[in-house]
Chain A
Amino acid sequence: MSEEEKKAQQESGPADAEKDEKQKAAETTPIAEAGQTAAQQSVEAADPEKAAKLKAAAEARAARAAAKAAAETAEAAEASAPPPPSPKQPELDAVTALIRREVADEALEDAYINELNGHMPTLIVKNEYWRSIAELLKIENDFTYLRNVSGVDYETHLEVVYHLVSLRSGRELAVKIKADREKPEVSSATPVWATANWNEREIYDLLGIVFPGHPDLRRIMMPDDWAGHPLRKDYEPLDSEV
């Protein structure tokens, strides 16, 4: 069973239980209603104003129940329909088409919309094509501003994320490059964006990713003779007292 199927089954579990309960409730209501009407009749005789109020309340209850049922069916319909395409989908399509045309068909490992992050278009590119893609993005796609570079240790692999923005149009793009944990190498973007320089040095220092093409790859935060890269998940300090 795939992950999705499992999830669907789990989700349907509580929903079924809910249905059962509703059915039970439906079975019991006639009795309750009978009781209520009896009470109502006795009240009606005593106080017509109160009876009118009770009647209005019962009507309101019925209306609320109907509205709830309608909302539930609408929700169910929404869940079964495919999600609407992201507003940033055309942006993503344009940039992937450009890369496929100008660089190589196999340069992209993946391209998707990060919905969590305001529908940020995100690319995963192969390292051997990264340098030419970087130049293309800057020159042809107006991504002149490199706003952030992050390194992440995923334990199975390492990853470098470049967050780009076009100051003219405000378009954004995240580009990721995966690296092997044993021999991590990602082509340096410093020749394309000067701001990558210290950012890449920091990633080299803290995660141990090597950036071929970097003009000055030295540690920047830790002392030069430090052993290991502290942001690695399996990092053990050489001297635990420090």
Chain B
Amino acid sequence: MIRTEELLLNVGPQHPSTHGVFRIVVKLDGEVITEATPVMGYLHRGTEKLAEQLNYTQIIPYTDRMDYVSAMTNNYVLVHAVETMMGLEVPERAEFLRLIVMELQRVASHLVWWGTYLLDIGAMSPFLYAFRDRETIINLFNELCGARLTYNYMRVGGVKWDAPPGWIDKVSEFIPYMEGKLREYDKLVSGNEIFLARIKGIGKYDAETAIDYGLSGANLRCTGVDWDLRKAEPYSLYSRFEFDVPLGQNGDCYDRYRIRLEEIRQSLRILKQAIVQFPSSGETMGKVPRAIRPPAGEVYTRIESPRGEIGCHIVSKGKAEPYRLKFRRPSFVNLQILPKLLIGETMTNLITILGGVDIVVGEVDC
């Protein structure tokens, strides 16, 4: 007689496909998942508590370490919140530099996702292609601010460093290069039958569920909901540029894949326009008081990071340090739907679905 029983399986927190120290405990009936419980907190550093002892400029490097694949957008959401509270004007050249680095960051972040997602599924070489091309962007950032991952680039009222001579030309050389590489990616991967069989129709949900779970970014738009904060609630200079918001229909891993690749194209489109309009001279820091003390009160500001809506809720009592600082991290919110998606799936699809959500654990735990 065959004895059958439920199997309790622990995945992580050091499993390579969880992209960091994320753990998930699954119950298996044969190969089918019957229950999944995510366990987080292995990377919880208490950023929000630490921020209460620091002034606003000192908090900026801490934001680099939340979503370390997209530090530029994290920088922006914090300085943007403080600027909103203080009603500060940012010089045009500084705002252009911010926008350019944020869009480059989106491309770099999506490249990391594309490479590692395929690596998770079992394709080794795309990872090498993606990291080769991402290196160009990392080098551009390195030249701009001396760091490859944790940039600490933005300041309340502007940016720390002006673009070195010739930097903008290098960005404009990168755009056609990347466009060519995207065509190559499509040829290599996007039509691959085995790959399509692994991701089409997997991890499906509808628009109503996505909204109920507060999903954002590609996770929301794959269901056809047209909600990109760069268009819906424009910040920075985004209203000046023409670009499309790619949408899906089926809400599956395949649609999320298509959207992220298309978003790279749209970012390059924004970059092309930004470089043409880039002011040839000007300040990179606005008029900012010596001590940054936002008035008493509170704000919630949000921007579109590569992973979705990243928000910053500041409660100020008029001091140099925030009274309370809360980050709305898209990875944390998006991950919530995972247990629901996994039930009834096979164990092999766990990694496909988790990778499709696109999390960065530094941001899940904060």
One digit per residue, 1 when the CB lies within 8 angstroms of any chain A CB and 0 when it does not, for chain B 293-326 equals: 0010111111000000101010100000001101
Q: Tell me whether B212 is interfacial, beta carbon within 8 Å.
A: yes
Q: Tell me whether A92 is interfacial, beta carbon within 8 Å.
A: no
The binding surface of chain B is classed by DSSP as mixed
Q: Apart from A145-B214, A195-B212, A206-B49, what 4 extra A-B contacts exist at CB < 8 Å?
A: A116-B295, A163-B300, A170-B232, A231-B48
User: Which of chain B's residues have a CB closer than 8 A to the CB of A9?
Assistant: none
User: Which of chain B's residues have a CB closer than 8 A to the CB of A194?
Assistant: 212-214, 336
CA separation between A57 and B56, bound complex, in Å? Answer: 46
B295, B301, B333: the one contacting A198 at CB < 8 Å is: B333
One digit per residue, 1 when the CB lies within 8 angstroms of any chain A CB and 0 when it does not, for chain B 114-135 equals: 0000000000000000000000
**What are 13 A-B contacts with C-beta separation under 8 Å?**
A117-B297, A117-B301, A118-B84, A144-B211, A146-B214, A147-B309, A150-B313, A161-B298, A163-B311, A174-B300, A195-B214, A195-B333, A199-B333
The number of chain A residues touching the other chain, given as a range, is: 20 to 34
**Chain A nearest Cβ from B239, distance in angstroms:** 14
CA separation between A197 and B337, bound complex, in Å? Answer: 10
Closest residue of chain B to A226, judged by CB?
B41
User: Which of chain B's residues have a CB closer than 8 A to the CB of A197?
Assistant: 336
User: Which of chain A's residues have a CB closer than 8 A to the CB of B335?
Assistant: 198
B233, B298, B323, B336: the one contacting A195 at CB < 8 Å is: B336
Q: Tell me whether A184 is interfacial, beta carbon within 8 Å.
A: no
Residue contact A221 to B365, C-beta cutoff 8 Å: yes
Shortest 7 CB-CB contacts between residues of A and residues of B: A195-B214, A117-B299, A150-B326, A148-B328, A221-B44, A116-B297, A221-B41
CB under 8 Å from chain A, chain B span 195-238: 211-214, 216, 225, 227, 232-233
Q: A147-B302, A163-B313, A170-B233 are in contact. Are A220 and B41 (CB under 8 A)?
A: yes
Q: A170-B232, A230-B49 are in contact. Are A147 and B299 (CB under 8 A)?
A: no
User: Which of chain A's residues have a CB closer than 8 A to the CB of B309?
Assistant: 147
Interface residues of B (CB under 8 A from A): 40-41, 44, 46, 48-49, 84-85, 211-214, 216, 225, 227, 232-233, 295, 297-302, 309, 311, 313, 315, 323-324, 326, 328, 332-333, 335-336, 365-366
Q: Tell me whether A114 is interfacial, beta carbon within 8 Å.
A: yes
The binding surface of chain A is classed by DSSP as mixed
CB under 8 Å from chain B, chain A span 197-230: 197-199, 202, 206, 219-223, 230
**Chain A nearest Cβ from B339, distance in angstroms:** 10
CA separation between A146 and B336, bound complex, in Å? Answer: 14
CA separation between A100 and B157, bound complex, in Å? Answer: 42
**Chain A nearest Cβ from B205, distance in angstroms:** 11
Q: Tell me whether A103 is interfacial, beta carbon within 8 Å.
A: no
Residue contact B232 to A198, C-beta cutoff 8 Å: no
Closest residue of chain B to A196, judged by CB?
B214
Residue contact A116 to B302, C-beta cutoff 8 Å: no
Q: Tell me whether A193 is interfacial, beta carbon within 8 Å.
A: yes
Q: A148-B311, A194-B336 are in contact. Are A222 and B328 (CB under 8 A)?
A: no
Tell me the number of A-to-B contacts counted with CB atoms below 8 Å.
92
Residue contact B46 to A230, C-beta cutoff 8 Å: yes
CB under 8 Å from chain B, chain A span 169-193: 170, 174, 193
A116, A167, A198, A223: the one contacting B298 at CB < 8 Å is: A116
Interface residues of A (CB under 8 A from B): 114, 116-118, 120, 144-148, 150-153, 161, 163, 167, 170, 174, 193-195, 197-199, 202, 206, 219-223, 230-231
A120, A147, A195, A222: the one contacting B41 at CB < 8 Å is: A222
Residue contact A116 to B311, C-beta cutoff 8 Å: no
CA separation between A153 and B313, bound complex, in Å? Answer: 14
CA separation between A233 and B108, bound complex, in Å? Answer: 39
Residue contact A120 to B214, C-beta cutoff 8 Å: no
Closest residue of chain A to B323, judged by CB?
A152
User: Which of chain A's residues have a CB closer than 8 A to the CB of B301?
Assistant: 117
CA separation between A51 and B198, bound complex, in Å? Answer: 88
Task: Determine which residue in B298, B311, B335 has the highest number of CB atoms from chain A within 10 A of its CB, and name it.
Answer: B298
CA separation between A118 and B297, bound complex, in Å? Answer: 12
Residue contact B324 to A193, C-beta cutoff 8 Å: no
User: Which of chain B's residues have a CB closer than 8 A to the CB of A163?
Assistant: 300, 311, 313
CA separation between A153 and B325, bound complex, in Å? Answer: 11
**Chain A nearest Cβ from B62, distance in angstroms:** 15
A117, A151, A170, A198: the one contacting B336 at CB < 8 Å is: A198
CA separation between A139 and B294, bound complex, in Å? Answer: 36
Residue contact B40 to A152, C-beta cutoff 8 Å: no
Residue contact B324 to A153, C-beta cutoff 8 Å: yes
Closest residue of chain A to B226, judged by CB?
A167
CA separation between A147 and B336, bound complex, in Å? Answer: 13
Closest residue of chain B to A231, judged by CB?
B49
User: Which of chain B's residues have a CB closer than 8 A to the CB of A198?
Assistant: 332-333, 335-336
Residue contact A148 to B40, C-beta cutoff 8 Å: no
User: Which of chain B's residues have a CB closer than 8 A to the CB of A223?
Assistant: 41
Closest residue of chain A to B340, judged by CB?
A194
**Chain B nearest Cβ from A101, distance in angstroms:** 26
